[in-house]
Each structure stands twice: as structure tokens, then as C-alpha cells.
């Protein structure tokens, strides 16, 4: 099964069907992991819940081998963004779990540095 036409964009371009919920889950992910999650989510929405194959994800991301897709999908699963059913084709489910948001100020992430008091006395 080939990917729907709207996913013909090149690597690095966000899929057209990215839902706001999947974008908000991207905190703490690498750009490539977020792109993978967004593609899986958009593909499922456009195809009635069917997940893309690893070969389709590889082609969409412009990777040379499916082993890169295995690593990306494994990292997303480890972080709780997706769930996989072992030994089944296209068995990836985007979860609804939300990560703890990173603190920010005016949209810029804050660097948290512990401060210790100088109570020498």
C-alpha cells in the first residue's frame, strides 16, 4: 500500500495532516523523532487508522535503511508516544499521553540551573 498523495513532500517538511495534539507531544523529542511521530499520526488520520510501513517511513524521512526507522520508532515507543504490537505489520498506535511540558518564557525554553545558598555562618 502506498502513502496517500499528501505525503509526497520531501524529507524535513511537516506532513499536511499534522494534528495539534501530536505537535504538543513533541517536547523532549529530536527533530527527526518529532517528524516521524507527526508522519505516523497524519498517515493514520488520512488512512482510517492504518499505520505506514517502515519502508514508507524510511522513504518519507529520506533514510538509507529501515534500521534507522527501527531506532526512531523504538525511541518513540520508549518515551511512550507510540505503542507497537510485536510481530504484526503496520501495528503502531499513537498514544494520547502527554509529556511534562518544559518551562518557557515568551515561547523560549528556560535553562534551569540549581542555585545553592551561601550560608556560611
Mind listing the pLDDT tens digit for each residue in 29-64?
A: 888 998 999 999 899 889 888 999 999 999 999 999
Q: Give CA separation, 13 vs 17, 109, 115, in Å.
A: 12, 23, 40
- In this prediction, residue 75 carries a pLDDT of 93
Place of cell 526507522: 69
The stretch 76-98 carries a mean pLDDT of 83
pLDDT for 106 beyond 50: yes
pLDDT for 100 beyond 80: no
CATH topology assigned to domain 5-109: Arc Repressor Mutant, subunit A (1.10.10)
- In this prediction, residue 29 carries a pLDDT of 84
Packed helices 54-61 and 31-46: angle between N→C axes, nearest 10 degrees:
120
Q: Where are the domains of the chain?
A: 5-109
Distance in angstroms (rounded) separating the CA atoms of residues 63 and 57: 9
- In this prediction, residue 2 carries a pLDDT of 46
Amino acid at each position: 500500500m502506498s502513502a496517500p498523495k499528501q505525503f509526497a513532500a520531501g524529507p524535513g517538511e511537516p506532513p499536511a495532516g499534522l494534528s495539534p495534539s501530536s505537535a504538543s507531544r513533541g517536547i523532549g523529542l529530536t527533530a527527526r523523532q518529532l517528524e516521524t511521530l507527526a508522519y505516523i499520526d497524519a498517515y493514520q488520520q488520512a488512512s482510517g487508522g492504518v499505520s505506514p510501513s517502515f519502508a514508507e517511513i524510511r522513504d518519507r524521512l529520506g533514510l538509507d535503511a529501515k534500521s534507522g526507522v527501527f531506532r526512531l520508532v523504538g525511541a518513540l515507543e520508549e518515551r511512550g508516544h507510540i505503542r507497537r504490537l510485536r510481530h504484526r505489520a503496520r501495528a503502531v498506535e499513537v498514544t494520547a499521553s502527554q509529556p511534562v511540558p518544559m518551562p518557557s518564557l515568551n515561547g523560549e525554553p528556560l535553562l534551569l540551573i540549581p542555585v545553592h545558598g551561601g550560608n556560611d555562618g
